Amino acid sequence: MTERKIWKGFIYLACVIITCVTLVTEVVLVQPKSLISVTGIVAILTIFFLTSTHPHKISWQPVLLGLFLQYVFALAILRLQGIREMFVWCGDVVKLMVQFSKAGGKFLFGSLYTNEGFVFHLIPLIAFVIAILSILEHLGVLHSLLRILGRFLAFCTGASPAESLNASANIFMGPIDSLMVIRPYLKHVTESELHCLMANAMSTVTGSIIGLYISFGISADHLLAASVMSAPAALAVAKLAVPERSNKTDVIKRTEAMIPVKRYRSVMDAFSSGAVSSFTLAGSILANVTAVVSFMDMINATLRWLGELVNIQNFTLQWICSYLFYPLALSLGVDPSDGHRVAELLGIKVFINELVAYAKLGDFRKNRLKFEDYINHNYTDWYWSDTFENVHLPTWNITLTEGFLSARSEVITTYALCGFANFISVGVIMGCYLVLVPHRKTVVFKYVFRSMVVGHCASFLTACIAGLFL
């Protein structure tokens, strides 16, 4: 035991030295203004420590090593050329899949197909990506990858095999599918582990949905990086928020060895079954997005009417969020001039969902690219409107509605929005757990909303750490 403690001490010391040295060489000496992101990291960790259910029971190993692993991921992905190129290549592969799905969309919708319609992208993209993932699942590729990632996370963070495997599964699968991976072991998990599993589901996005965000124009490589980095972040923050109280020896010694593999009759059966099953997901997304956007428009109409009564113009949910989340936006490390726009997107993620927020971020990106193209043509007559909401390009007679974000703020926001934490997901996760472990419903009700907050903050923590190196 003493020897083990000595090794732990060496590991912690090595982590501290690596963090300090790289912070100085890669941040302080290169771009010191990025250190503002440290305030966001400290604030998030402090809040969860102060609101922890049992602060005196916190095991710092999964917290500190989870944060260190996230830091190393960010450093490797954003600063090491080889790793960076690998993620860019992976992003290009996903972009190719998005392009291939358009062929199916054009065949399905014919002359009605456009590059702007949401439904035209959603149905063919989800069907194609899930069909490919089903083939990988049938061949055992996905199974092997999950085992490797699960073992890696468990070894690095000290989290239980169930927590680590579930966290790695959430990178590729939806919250329900990733839960089914560890279904046989749910009856063994503690309150802390159950909370951690729910937080895992809230903190990442799945491979099939990433393709949809890419169709909005969001950077593919940064989306992939955000999803990978948020897995250890969720483990760290969840163990800070709800520490493990039991002294149980791990009941689940070899969870990863027992991952159930879906076996289809053939590759074509896997492809076809995946494509057919995708329509359930696509239908759910379409129904929720339609209802949410309509509901948001109703809220904004009500708020505008109330604002006019007291002579406040453009009083909307977005306007409220642009001020409510402004301090958070600045602590992520975005440019101060972009603070209100980023705060608006964060508010949409928190109160609506990340899909609507990413669609809005995609609009900002299109505006930025148009503006840069205008500048590259040596036109200098552009100007902001009096309220600094819109950018006018007189020579082209174009108005960039609501302006744009800088490239750096755009990337940081991409990381901050990456996660399923929203009220719709709360309903989905509650329903799933109440079916699988009905005897734990009291624990589910107790921690489900806390897990949503953890999911949000895991994404914000990822954005802060990425902001150090951007």
CB 229, CB 462: distance < 8 Å: yes
CA distances from 189 to 73, 198, 250, 277, 434 (A): 28, 12, 9, 30, 15
pLDDT in tens, 317-331: 888 888 999 999 999
More confident residue, 416 or 246: 416
Average pLDDT, the chain: 83
Q: Is the pLDDT of residue 384 over 50?
A: yes
Query: What is the model's pLDDT at position 42?
Result: 93
Question: Is the pLDDT at 158 greater than 80, yes or no?
Answer: no
- pTM value is 0.85
* Statement: residue 140 has pLDDT above 80: no
What average pLDDT score do residues 138-151 get? Answer: 76
292 or 422, which is more confident:
422
Distance CA 427, CA 448 (A): 9
Strand order in the sheet with 391-393: 383-384, 391-393, 398-400
Residue 18: pLDDT above 70?
A: yes
Q: What pLDDT is stored for residue 453 in this prediction?
A: 93
Is residue 272's pLDDT more than 80?
yes
Please tell me which residue, 254 or 436, carries the higher pLDDT value.
436
* pLDDT for res 253: 45
Q: Take residue 58 and report the two structure tokens written for it.
A: 């916190």
- For CA atoms 242, 243, 245, 249, the dihedral sign is positive
Q: Helix or strand or coil: residue 433?
A: helix
Residue 254 has pLDDT above 50, yes or no: no
More confident residue, 283 or 82: 82
CA distance 322 to 302: 18
